[in-house]
A and B are shown apart, each in its own frame.
Chain A
Amino acid sequence: MRTPPVLHELQVGSALPELVKPPIERIQLVKYAGASGDFNRIHVEEGFATAAGYQSVFAHGMLSMAFLGELCARVCGGPGPVRELKVRFKAITWPGDVITCGGTVTAIEPVGDGASAARRIKVSLWCKNQAGEVTCEGSAELAA
């Protein structure tokens, strides 16, 4: 079943409905490596990660960005209206971490001369782990 989009209900200051992802599993990192083509060993080979000074393998930053993409697509009812997605990675996501994604509408602007009903909705975005630590933050522009 698809989540109904809330894009047209959003106002400046609206919080986006939060997306809570299941705990990160090592097998998910293997799947993500295969699906994305990012085979950096640090995400899948324990020995490589520990030799590099990390406690274990850890999630691709892009996996968290994908979660934010999922949040935006849910809000819009699909990926089509997502015009821009930007993320800054802040903290490492480890296996077992539970990532919650959310955001807030920062601006709603008319597109072009403003004569049409087209609007651009700007949102700020974040991912937090179970400890409340922000693991990445960013922004998006959604066409409405």
Chain B
Amino acid sequence: MAAPIDPRFVGKASAPLEVDVERGQIRRFAEAIGDADPIYRDEAAARAAGYPAIPAPPTFATSLRPNDVREGIDIDWKKLLHAEQSYRFARPLLAGDRITLVQRIAAIYEKAGKSGVMDFIVMETTGHDAGGALVYTATSTVVIKR
């Protein structure tokens, strides 16, 4: 039986990481999810739709991986499941964006379920653009069966 996740990790933040949003990465993401919209592949189509550059599909933000704030926390990955995910966008991500990512642990709690006690970790990731403006906030809740 795994130990509970230590709540003292709440507030822990990852070291900021700068990542570039590349058009090839957007195209491969659109291909993987099976979204055929040409605005994710063709700059002319993106401009015709009113975007200054190729935009990214909404959940593309997941492929911008921050330094993992769970580093150093003992987690049984076989027992971990993604429970909830949310995004708030100020604007869509665009090819050419340089985004600074920081991930924080927002909450750690346990809950008794049908199959026993489960541990929850809530992580919040922010993405700021080169001008310092917040582009999006992503919140992930993962559950670990004990």
Chain A residues within 8 Å of B, Cβ to Cβ: 2, 21-22, 28, 31-32, 34-38, 40-42, 48, 51-52, 60-63, 65-67, 69-70, 72-74, 77-80, 82-89, 138
Convert B66-104 into 0s and 1s, putting 1 for each residue whose CB lies closer than 8 angstroms to a CB of A: 000000000001111111111111011000000000000
Q: Which of A35, A37, A89 is in CB contact (< 8 Å) with B82?
A: A89
**Is the contact region of chain B dominated by helix, strand, or loop, or is it mixed?**
mixed
Q: Which residue of A lies closest to B93 (CB)?
A: A79
Given the contacts A35-B29, A36-B62, A78-B39, A84 and B86 also touching, CB distance less than 8 Å: yes
- Evaluate contact between B89 and A84: CB separation under 8 angstroms: yes
State in angstroms the CA–CA spacing of A36 and B50 once bound together.
26
Size class of the contact patch on chain B: 35 or more
Given the contacts A2-B37, A73-B37, A65 and B28 also touching, CB distance less than 8 Å: no
Given the contacts A35-B32, A78-B50, A62 and B62 also touching, CB distance less than 8 Å: yes
Chain B residues within an 8 Å CB radius of A21: 34
Chain B residues within 8 Å of A, Cβ to Cβ: 25, 28-29, 31-35, 37-39, 45, 49-51, 55-59, 62-63, 65, 77-89, 91-92
State in angstroms the CA–CA spacing of A69 and B86 once bound together.
11
State in angstroms the CA–CA spacing of A37 and B125 once bound together.
15
- Evaluate contact between A66 and B57: CB separation under 8 angstroms: yes
- Evaluate contact between A72 and B58: CB separation under 8 angstroms: yes
- Evaluate contact between B32 and A36: CB separation under 8 angstroms: yes
- Evaluate contact between A61 and B85: CB separation under 8 angstroms: yes
